[in-house]
A and B are shown apart, each in its own frame.
Chain A
Amino acid sequence: MTRFVERHPAWALIVIIAVAVALWLIFAVWPPGLEEAIGRKRVFLNAVFNGITLGGLYFLVASGFTLIFGLMRNVNLAHGSLYLFGGYVGYAISASTGSWILSFIAAFVLTALVGVVLQVLVFRRMEGQDLRQTMVTIGLSIVFADLMLWACGGDFYQIQTPNWLIGPIELPLITAVKSSGEPVYLRYPLVRLVIFLASMIIGIAMWLALNRTRIGMIIRAGVDDRDILAATGVRIQIVFVLVFALGAGLAGIAGVVGGTFQSLSPGEDIRFLLASLVVVIVGGMGSIPGAALGALIIGLAEQLGSVYIPTYAIVVTFLIMVLVLALRPQGLLARR
């Protein structure tokens, strides 16, 4: 952090000002002129919160994607299919047992298993052949998409939110002040906040596991130099299988989250694949903090864009990608 400030004082200043403005917009009571200029504060706050929680969902998908790529250089363009598969599994489980928590466990375990099968049957046979892996996973995603369409049909599914999470809660953020001087507080769906907290916990746990444990050390060493790691006697194939299972399982969990937030239908697989591509391009391939930052930026851009400039919302996301590529082709937080 301090190094960044030392090396790019101008950028650091811009970032600090932007953060300060954003915080002021969130916490302050808006003066009347501002409300007229850019609309009501409630709309803005909702967009920000939706953006942040959507960013949490994108992080869950993209972190698995980037973890697999970072360690194994495996380009898994079927990652979106794993997301949708996890979502369908979660829907089936929660619809039959009524347990939301159980659906997470089932989705994690089953998609992780699919991931292990993929790793053993496909990726192990074409290590180091990037383009071939890309083609094969594109083919697999087509096959998976059609199989899931076959099994689940083209309907929209939504996973039932459990009773104890239904309904909004009041947040200590003032959206407006009534004429009587009584403040109005923001009400926001509890389930989205809980899921966002959970994805933050997962992210922090992953960071701790990668940076503070032995297996994390092995994985980081593998990202940097796979051959030397193998030469030191680590059974790297087992590490690969474990990381692949973890990455795929995260996509499965994200599928359940997405099925609760939004809905599940054919085509969502490609949407989330693209979201994770953009997130990791912006954040930096193979970097977990990068995935977090990229997911936050893209989620916020998408939601704020769709509120304030609905026609060009998708272009905003794209422009961010272009800007990052132009200034830092390797991504914001990539080490290179």
Chain B
Amino acid sequence: MSVTHDARIRVHKAAATAQRPAVRGWPDVNNPAAWIAAVILLIMPLIANGFFLIEIFATTLILGTIALSLMFLAGYGGMVSLMQLTIAGFAAYMVAVFGVSGNANISLGWPWWLAVPMALTLATIFGTLGGALAVRTEGIYTIMITLAIGAAFYYFTNQNWAIFNGHTGINNVSTPHFWGVDWRWDIPFYYVALAVAAACYCAVDYISRAPFGLALQGVRDNPRRMAALGFNVNAHRVAAYAVASFIAGLAGVLQVWNYRQISPGSVSVGACIDILIIAVVGGISRPVGPYIGALVFVLLRTFALDFLVKIGLDGNRFRLLIGLGFLAIVFWSSDGVIGLWQRWRQSHRPPSDRPGGGRGHG
């Protein structure tokens, strides 16, 4: 639970500093809780066994990174995109197609250090093109169009045998192996996932305070005014899609390495919606939210069955539980778990310490 705990403290800290003048340093550097979380995450292999390390924590980091790309678009850009998982899945497919896999007649057999940049480039292009389409519309329309793109990709992978190998997908995708280390072993892979997640987290945190990020937030709050100030609104939005696509692509590469296979099932519409659920449950106003949401989601997905059976219910009702939890979060807190936490802190503190946050995106 260390991740959750730390995140909450960090969130409060960030919220408190939000009232200072716009340009800040790295808020996490002076936050002891952030350091504690970092240390705990780093020594995690000493604490957790292989199952927890990969099935819970590495999966959380990967899903959290995909949800982070959605959070970046939704929280800073005001664009709720449901195709982030599709972009990740596209990158995963591209790794399988360009790299080495069990399907020799599809895979080109490039080494991983060539296949991965290629996959990332193509995924970024794919996501940016999708974004360029989506920014022509606003709000609900964006959701619908990105959902339609995700669904089209899912059905396409199901039908196309030449590149995507139909509904069986591509199996036995090889993972990198150098310096005498197989990077798919539990502990090295955990560190790879952690490094990627940390890099993405820091990048999003940094961009949110860089001129581009500030302009993007301006576009979110008042596009007309930003256009009047001379900013190219659509270019900012498309650029945000490019950044988010790259982040999602990174997570997609990790995902295909994790499972060593990719199939249409992993890019289904339900999975796309799961990413939205993760981001919303965690909270889409801060980069840490998606990781909290992913941890909650993964824990629920893994243990809900046992839990439901224990209290005498049908174990298959996991999605019902997720759906009801999601509904409860959306009904009572517009900013997910971190919003709930913030409200709880507010009710226990003098009003002078009130954070300025609480922009309603939900």
List residues of chain A with CB under 8 Å of any chain B CB. Answer: 75, 129-132, 134-136, 138-140, 142-143, 145-147, 150, 270, 274, 277-278, 281, 285, 310-315, 317-318, 321-322, 325-326, 329
Q: How far is the CB of B130 from chain A (nearest CB, A)?
A: 10
A281 in complex: contacting residue of B141, B159, B270, B276, CB < 8 Å: B141
Contacts of B327 in A (CB 8 A): 136, 139-140, 143
Contacts of B323 in A (CB 8 A): 139-140, 142-143, 146
Q: How far is the CA of A311 from the CA of B280 in the complex (A)?
A: 35
Q: Which of B258-306 contact A (CB under 8 A)?
A: 269-270, 273, 276-277, 280
> Is A142 touching B319 in the complex (CB atoms < 8 A)?
yes
- 6 more contacts with CB within 8 A, not counting A139-B327, A142-B322, A285-B141, are A129-B360, A136-B330, A150-B320, A314-B152, A321-B148, A329-B136
List residues of chain B with CB under 8 Å of any chain A CB. Answer: 80, 133, 136-137, 139-141, 143-145, 147-149, 151-152, 155-156, 159-162, 269-270, 273, 276-277, 280, 314, 316-317, 319-320, 322-324, 326-327, 330-331, 334, 360-362
Q: How far is the CB of A222 from chain B (nearest CB, A)?
A: 18
Q: How far is the CB of B161 from chain A (nearest CB, A)?
A: 7
> Is A329 touching B139 in the complex (CB atoms < 8 A)?
no
Contacts of A314 in B (CB 8 A): 152, 155-156, 159
> Is A142 touching B326 in the complex (CB atoms < 8 A)?
yes
Q: How far is the CA of A146 from the CA of B269 in the complex (A)?
A: 15
What are 15 pairs between A and B in contact, CB < 8 Å? Answer: A75-B140, A131-B140, A134-B143, A136-B330, A138-B326, A139-B327, A142-B326, A150-B314, A311-B162, A314-B156, A315-B152, A318-B156, A321-B145, A325-B136, A325-B137
Q: How far is the CA of A300 from the CA of B21 in the complex (A)?
A: 58
Contacts of B316 in A (CB 8 A): 150
Q: How far is the CA of A326 from the CA of B135 in the complex (A)?
A: 11
Contacts of B136 in A (CB 8 A): 325-326, 329
Closest 6 CB pairs of A and B: A142-B323, A143-B323, A139-B327, A318-B152, A314-B155, A146-B320
Q: A143-B324, A311-B160 in contact; A131/B141 too (CB < 8 A)?
A: no
Q: How far is the CB of A78 from chain B (nearest CB, A)?
A: 11
> Is B159 touching A311 in the complex (CB atoms < 8 A)?
yes
> Is B269 touching A329 in the complex (CB atoms < 8 A)?
no
Q: How far is the CA of A325 from the CA of B276 in the complex (A)?
A: 24
Q: How far is the CA of A175 from the CA of B250 in the complex (A)?
A: 54
B161 in complex: contacting residue of A143, A145, A311, A317, CB < 8 Å: A311
A278 in complex: contacting residue of B143, B148, B270, B331, CB < 8 Å: B148
> Is B156 touching A277 in the complex (CB atoms < 8 A)?
no
Closest Cβ neighbor of B319 among chain A residues: A146
Q: How far is the CA of A321 from the CA of B320 in the complex (A)?
A: 33
Contacts of A129 in B (CB 8 A): 360
Contacts of A285 in B (CB 8 A): 141
Contacts of B330 in A (CB 8 A): 132, 135-136, 139
> Is B269 touching A270 in the complex (CB atoms < 8 A)?
yes
Contacts of A139 in B (CB 8 A): 277, 323-324, 326-327, 330
Contacts of A150 in B (CB 8 A): 314, 316-317, 320
A317 in complex: contacting residue of B152, B160, B280, CB < 8 Å: B152
Closest Cβ neighbor of B82 among chain A residues: A138
Q: A131-B362, A136-B327, A140-B327 in contact; A277/B140 too (CB < 8 A)?
A: no
Which of B152, B161, B270, B280 has most A Cβ within 10 Å? B152
Q: How far is the CA of A326 from the CA of B149 in the complex (A)?
A: 14
Closest Cβ neighbor of A321 among chain B residues: B148
A277 in complex: contacting residue of B148, B317, B360, CB < 8 Å: B148
Q: How far is the CA of A318 from the CA of B133 in the complex (A)?
A: 12
B133 in complex: contacting residue of A142, A313, A317, A325, CB < 8 Å: A325
> Is A136 touching B331 in the complex (CB atoms < 8 A)?
yes
A138 in complex: contacting residue of B141, B273, B360, CB < 8 Å: B273
Q: How far is the CA of A270 from the CA of B162 in the complex (A)?
A: 26
